[in-house]
Amino acid sequence: MSDKPSREELNALPVEAPDLEDETQHFYVCADCGQAVDMRRLGDVLHHEDPGHERLPEQ
Ligand SMILES: [Zn+2]
């Protein structure tokens, strides 16, 4: 079965996130690759959960 949604599809999902004054508060730094991850982008978050993953291309 390969009906897993793609990272882009996951990123497009609406996420309940409070409007924070500081945009940087939506980000955390991945302990694995050191890249800043936007917690509102579910696909990116799941990507960075994957052991041995590559850094994502910058948007
Ligand atoms: Zn990462």
pTM of the model: 0.76
d(CA 2, CA 57): 24
pLDDT 10s digit of each residue in the chain, 59 long?
Answer: 668 899 999 999 888 888 888 989 999 999 999 999 999 999 999 999 999 999 998 76
User: φ and ψ at 33, to 5 degrees?
Assistant: -110, -5
**pLDDT in the model for residue 19:** 83
CA 26–ligand 1 middle distance (angstroms): 15
Residue 29 structure tokens = 């730094």
Residue 47 structure tokens = 């990507």
CA 53–ligand 1 middle distance (angstroms): 6
CA 51–ligand 1 middle distance (angstroms): 8
d(CA 46, CA 37): 10
CA 31–ligand 1 middle distance (angstroms): 7
CA 1–ligand 1 middle distance (angstroms): 26
User: φ and ψ at 54, to 5 degrees?
Assistant: -90, 155
Residue 46 structure tokens = 């799941």
